[in-house]
Amino acid sequence: MLHDIMPGTEEELMRKMTSGYIGFDPTADSLHVGHLTQIMTLIHFQRAGHKPYALVGGATGMVGDPSGKSAERNLLSEDTLNHNVSCLEEQLKKFLDFDCGANSAEMVNNFDWFKNFSFLDFIRDVGKHITVNYMMAKDSVRKRLEGETGMSFTEFSYQLVQGYDFYYLWKEKNCQVQMGGSDQWGNIVTGTELIRRKGSGSAFGITTQLIKKADGTKFGKTESGAVWLNPTRTSPYKFYQFWLNASDDDAKSWIRIFTLKTREELEALELEHNAAPHLRTLQKALAKDITIRTHSAEALETALKTSDFLFGNGSLEFLSGLDHDAVMDVFDGIPKFSISREELMAGINATDLLAEKASVFPSKGEARKMIQGGGVSINKEKITDAAKLFNSDDLISSNYLVVQKGKKNYFLLIVK
> Residue 95 contacts by C-beta under 8 Å, 6 or more apart in sequence?
39, 42, 43, 293
pTM of the model: 0.83
278 among known catalytic residues: no
Q: How long a stretch of residues is the chain?
A: 416
Q: Is 281 a catalytic residue?
A: no
CATH number for the domain formed by residue range(s) 221-313: 1.10.240.10
CATH 3.10.28.10: does it fit domain 2-208?
no
Annotated catalytic residue, options 32, 51, 129, 305: 32
CA–CA gap between residue 155 and residue 379 (Å, rounded): 57
CB 229, CB 293: distance < 8 Å: no
Which among 319, 310, 266, 322 is positioned nearest to 289, based on CA atoms? 266
Contact assessment for residue 352 and residue 365, using Cβ atoms and an 8 Å cutoff:
no
Splitting the chain (416 residues) into consecutive groups of 10 residues, what average pLDDT does each group show?
A: 95 97 92 95 98 88 55 68 90 95 95 81 72 52 50 64 90 96 89 92 95 85 84 91 95 96 97 97 98 95 88 79 85 90 94 95 95 93 94 93 91 94
Burial (0-12, 13-18, 19+ Cβ within 10 Å), 100: exposed
Catalytic (active site) residue 324? no
Phi, psi (rounded to 5 degrees) for 231 = -65, -20
The DSSP 8-state label assigned to residue 380 in this structure reads: T
* Residue 69 phi, psi (nearest 5): -100, -15
pLDDT of residue 132: 52
Catalytic residue among 9, 18, 29, 35: 35
Domain ranges of the chain: 2-208, 221-313, 336-415
Q: What pLDDT is recorded for position 149? A: 47
Fold assignment, 336-415: 3.10.290
The single residue of 47, 128, 218, 256 carrying the catalytic annotation is 218
User: Of 112, 125, 183, 332, which is the active-site residue?
Assistant: 183
Catalytic residue among 73, 144, 293, 295: 73
Total Cβ atoms within 10 A of residue 213? 16
- Do domains 2-208 and 221-313 share one topology? The answer is no
Task: Print burial letters for 126-144: b (CB count within 10 Å at least 16), e (below 16).
Answer: bbebbeeeebeebeebeeb
Residue 183 designated active-site: yes
Q: Is 73 annotated in the active site?
A: yes
Residue from 15, 16, 69, 263 carrying the catalytic annotation = 69
Whether 384 is a known active-site residue: answer no
Residue 388 catalytic?
A: no
**Is 162 among the catalytic positions?**
yes
Query: What b/e sequence results for 272-297 when a residue is b if at least 16 CB atoms lie within 10 Å of its CB, and e otherwise?
Result: ebeeeeeebbbbbbbbbbbbbbbbee
207 catalytic? Reply is no
Bridge partner list, 32: 228
Position 117 scores a pLDDT of 80
CB-based contacts of 128, cutoff 8 Å, min separation 6 = none
27 is catalytic: yes
Measured over the CA atoms of residue 163, residue 168, residue 169 and residue 171, the dihedral's sign is positive
Select which of 131, 149, 154, 222 is catalytic. 222
Dist CA 331 CA 225 (whole Å): 18
